[in-house]
């Protein structure tokens, strides 16, 4: 019989490294995908997941078994990703200031911009998601990477179930609008190209 997540977690709290490896392997693909879709590239996503797992290991003693291990892991990982998003925003404020600065020297931008693709990535969907406010985008990622319930989503982000529902609805409505606009532009561009061929 497969060892449960909770049993593994209790073993991790006693410093059991194989249990930690087993638990990491169970969740790594889902955590990586969530971080990748939020942060836009694999390198930053891997770093975020590593930092989250490090935190899981070092704080395993404070894990309380009323939490599902998956919910606990998603809480820790989203916390790391969200702080990374905050850092990027303040960098982009700096970047704008540097552009306005006459010589533009003296600032560092060592981060990678843009989206690093990845298998099966739909760029239209990614661009549309970029337009969704961060809190709603996080909920969408958690909902679709692992099918978390409204209650689990509420627990991960420390919000009410009603807020989860309204944020998800708002996020999807924005997605639909942006994808519709994109689809409309594509159809128009297609018609123009066909017109020019004649």
Sites for another protein among residues 115-154 (CB under 8 A): 118-122, 125-126, 129, 133-135, 140-141, 144-145
Q: Which of 1, 2, 90, 193 binds another protein (CB under 8 A)?
A: 90
As a whole number of angstroms, the distance between CA 187 and CA 197 comes to 16
**120: which 2 tokens?**
């099966």
Task: Tell the smallest beta-carbon distance from residue 96 to another protein (Å).
Answer: 14
Please tell me the count of residues contacting another protein according to CB under 8 A: 73
| Between 102 and 193, CB nearer to another protein | 102
Helices 123-130/161-197 angle, 10° precision: 130
Stretch of residues binding another protein (CB under 8 A), selected from 1-9, 177-185, 188-196: 177-185
Is 99 one of the binding residues for another protein (CB under 8 A)?
no
CB-side neighbour CA atoms (13 Å) of 129: 20
Task: Tell the smallest beta-carbon distance from residue 197 to another protein (Å).
Answer: 23
Burial string for 120-158 (b: 16+ CB within 10 Å, else e) reads eeeeeeeebbeebeebbbbbbbbbebbebebebbbbbbe
Is 32 one of the binding residues for another protein (CB under 8 A)?
yes
Query: Tokens 């609008």 correspond to what residue?
Result: 177
Is 8 one of the binding residues for another protein (CB under 8 A)?
no
Is 114 one of the binding residues for another protein (CB under 8 A)?
no
135-to-2, 23, 159 alpha-carbon distances in Å: 35, 27, 11
For residue 56, count CB atoms less than 10 angstroms from its CB and return exposed for 0-12, middle for 13-18, buried for 19 or more: buried
Task: Tell the smallest beta-carbon distance from residue 179 to another protein (Å).
Answer: 6
Is 11 one of the binding residues for another protein (CB under 8 A)?
no
As a whole number of angstroms, the distance between CA 6 and CA 197 comes to 64
Stretch of residues binding another protein (CB under 8 A), selected from 3-11, 168-176, 188-196: 168-176
Is 95 one of the binding residues for another protein (CB under 8 A)?
no
| Between 9 and 53, CB nearer to another protein | 53
Is 68 one of the binding residues for another protein (CB under 8 A)?
no
Q: Which of 3, 4, 29, 185 binds another protein (CB under 8 A)?
A: 29
């Amino acid at each position: 019989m497969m060892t449960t997540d909770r049993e593994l977690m209790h073993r991790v709290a006693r410093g059991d490294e194989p249990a930690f490896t087993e638990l990491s392997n169970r969740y790594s693909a889902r955590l990586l995908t969530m971080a990748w879709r939020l942060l836009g590239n694999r390198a930053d996503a891997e770093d975020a997941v590593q930092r989250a797992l490090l935190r899981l290991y070092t704080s395993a003693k404070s894990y309380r078994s009323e939490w599902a291990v998956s919910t606990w892991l998603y809480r820790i990982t989203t916390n790391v990703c969200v702080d990374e998003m905050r850092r990027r925003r303040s960098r982009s404020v700096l970047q704008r200031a540097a552009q306005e600065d006459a010589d533009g020297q003296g600032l560092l931008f060592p981060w990678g911009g843009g989206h690093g693709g990845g298998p099966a990535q739909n760029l239209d969907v990614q661009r549309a998601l970029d337009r969704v406010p961060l809190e709603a985008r996080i909920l969408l990622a958690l909902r679709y990477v692992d099918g978390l319930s409204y209650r689990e989503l509420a627990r991960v982000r420390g919000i009410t179930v009603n807020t989860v529902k309204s944020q998800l609805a708002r996020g999807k409505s924005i997605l639909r609008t942006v994808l519709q606009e994109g689809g409309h532009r594509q159809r128009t561009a297609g018609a123009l190209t066909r017109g020019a061929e004649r």
